[in-house]
Structure 1
Amino acid sequence: MTNLSFVSKMRCVKSRKAPTDSKSLVQRFYVLQAERVEAYKLFDEGHEAYLRTGPHYDFEHYKQLVHEITKAFSGISKEVLEIKEQLHQDFDRPDLSEHMEKLQIKEKEKLELTAKLQLAKQNVQDHPANEDFQEKVQQLKQDVIKNKAVLADILQDFKYDSEEPE
């Protein structure tokens, strides 16, 4: 269905020595954000593959994908929260910590929107004549776009503030 070794790859990257300076923490944060992007890509590709198995959906493969992606997002979030705490406590960077807090909230919202969008897409496929489902997909797509714009703004603020001298 999709490459489920993503979590395994993530574990290898994580096993490196933990960053001990703020610049390294910021760089690690960017790596984690890139991993989130990759996880979303795999999640979307997996859902598209799942939809192609309809109308008798291969739910077992999709369930495994959701499990792996959930594990990946959980690991990423856990490490982001650790970095957030380190930046705040060890390096006196509450500004960066605050950006990361906002980002975590919006990432959670994005994941919830993505799950709703996937369900809505399946409803459209299962009930093509129902315009309400099609409208729901369009609305959720707009919500995801707005969410991504807010995430981009937060990341831009983080980048700007992280480049200031400590």
Structure 2
Amino acid sequence: MVPSDFKAVIQRFYHLQTERVETYRLFEEGHEAYLRTAPQYDFDHYKQLVHEITQAFCGISKEVLEIKRQLHDDFDRPDLSEHIKNLQSKEKQKLELTAKLQLVKQQIQDHPEDESWQEKVQDIKQEIIKNKEALSEIMQDFKYDSEECG
């Protein structure tokens, strides 16, 4: 493989990460719209959104895993492959935390008198902040390691 192929693979990876961020934004906006349909929640519409978001994340993940394979097998860069493995694990955790947060937000809306849900929101938000910091660190390591040979 020629170095330009390596650069193209790296660029594609960055593009996919940007797509992931956009997909999260759409997921958040969709959930906020869903909460506004209370108390007769438009669950069918929200269920369709979750399906579309899941499809988008699956497509992104599949492509990222292929890039991970290419970096390891085709470019002999197990270091970069390892960064992607760690990133995928943190992205999975982020999605789980995001879904958990959305469920708790609905509980707050449905049970405003129960203040324990507010604490849960703060706890989950703290976990999400830590997760985003870890993701950022992995991305910085990836960027540094991918550019050092370029």
Same fold (TM over 0.5): yes
Give the Cα–Cα distance (whole angstroms) in 2 for the partners of residues 121 and 165 of structure 1: 46
The Cα shift of 1:52 comes to 0.3
Tell me which residue corresponds to 1:121. 105
Tell me which residue corresponds to 1:30. 14
Structural RMSD (CA):
0.9
Query: Helix, strand or coil: the match of 2:19?
Result: helix
For 1:78-97, list aligned pairs within 5 A: 78-97=62-81
Tell me which residue corresponds to 1:159. 143
2:48 pairs with one of 49, 64, 88: 64
2:115 pairs with one of 131, 134, 153: 131
In the TM superposition, what whole-angstrom CA distance separates every residue of 1:92-129 from its partner, at most 9, and x where no partner exists?
A: 00010000000000000000000000000000000011
Tell me which residue corresponds to 2:36. 52
Tell me which residue corresponds to 1:15. none
For 1:6-17, list aligned pairs within 5 A: none
The Cα shift of 1:22 comes to 1.2
Write the letter of the residue equivalent to 1:132: S
Which TM-score applies when normalising by structure 2?
0.96
In the TM superposition, what whole-angstrom CA distance separates every residue of 1:124-145 from its partner, at most 9, and x where no partner exists?
A: 0000111111110111111111
Query: Helix, strand or coil: the match of 1:151?
Result: helix
User: Share of identical aligned residues, percent?
Assistant: 73
1:112 pairs with one of 96, 115, 136: 96
What is the aligned residue count?
147
Which has the larger share of helix? 2
Worse overlay, 105-114 or 125-134: 125-134
Tell me which residue corresponds to 1:144. 128
The Cα shift of 1:165 comes to 1.1
Give the Cα–Cα distance (whole angstroms) in 2 for the partners of residues 99 and 75 of structure 1: 19
Query: Helix, strand or coil: the match of 1:31?
Result: helix
Which TM-score applies when normalising by structure 1?
0.87
Tell me which residue corresponds to 2:83. 99
